[in-house]
Amino acid sequence: MQLNDRAGDGRARRVTAERLDHLAPDDPLAICSRRDLQRIHRVMRSLSILQDALSRLSLANPPLRILELGAGDGTLLLRLARTRASRWSGVELTLLDRHDLLSSVGREAYRQLGWNVTVDCADVLQWARSPLVRRYDLCITTLFLHHFDSADLGMVLAGVAARTDAFIACEPRRSPFARMGSRLLGLLGANEVTREDGAKSVAAGFSGSELTQLWSQANRDWWTREYPAWPFTHCFVAARPHVRALVPAPADPDEP
């Protein structure tokens, strides 16, 4: 199911600092908030939305080198890995985040799938400005790009485009429905940090073709799609034309 509110709620993006970003990784509030995010991903249908985005990319070959930006504890990518491990074997996965939040249980789970996982502790803006030393077949990010204003976001997207052949971003959708949903996070048992950050995330989210416009400023030769995904997500997918299969992706119901 797709939402058709292409224009969002008519409000400009408003990026403000979120509390979780300024808590120590071992702070009890931070630990609880990361658990909240796992539940929120399920409510948002993040795994299904990622799978749909992958079908839209129509990659000709399985990706062998995957990067996740703002990976957090790596649990969402692990859920995706479990659905893809039989077709994507021997994947080298890099989780980029300011902190190493991947548990020993998570590392073992990736190992059992035959995926080699590395955690790269770095600030993404420094990463985007750094010399190009490694390339990836696919880069994925969820609930991360909305943390950046347009100037910094342009830098992050340029860093991604220089290092990968395909990109998927799943972000909060800036819409009245998503704003209402953010006010109901307490019903999921979310703590004060998650409730506060949820509202900020929607205000900093995306609508229309905002990500496409930023991406296209420097990457005009890429194939791109930007679309809403029910109930609260805004998606952007991009790929270099040569890595896509000749078989067309499923029809996009949001396209004329």
d(CA 191, CA 188): 9
Bin 148: left if φ > 0, else alpha if -120 < ψ < 50, else beta.
Answer: beta
Q: What is the pLDDT of residue 15?
A: 96
- Average pLDDT estimate for 20-37: 95
Give every CB contact of residue 100 below 8 A, 6+ residues apart in sequence: 119, 121
Sign of CA dihedral 215, 145, 206, 203: negative
Confidence of residue 9 (pLDDT cuts 50, 70, 90): low
Half-sphere exposure (CA, 13 Å, Cβ side) for 13?
22
Bin 103: left if φ > 0, else alpha if -120 < ψ < 50, else beta.
Answer: beta
The token duo for 4 is 């058709």
Is 6 a residue whose pLDDT tops 50? no
Homologous superfamily of domain range 33-243: Vaccinia Virus protein VP39 (3.40.50.150)
d(CA 43, CA 37): 10
Q: What is the pLDDT of residue 165?
A: 97
Q: What is the pLDDT of residue 217?
A: 76
Q: Is 186 helix (H, G, I), strand (E, B) or coil?
A: helix
Q: What is the pLDDT of residue 171?
A: 98
Within the chain, what is the greatest distance between any pair of CA atoms?
Answer: 49
Q: What is the pLDDT of residue 157?
A: 96
Packing angle, helices 46-57 and 75-84, rounded to 10: 50
Query: pLDDT per residue over 192-217, tens digit each?
Result: 999 999 999 999 999 999 999 999 87
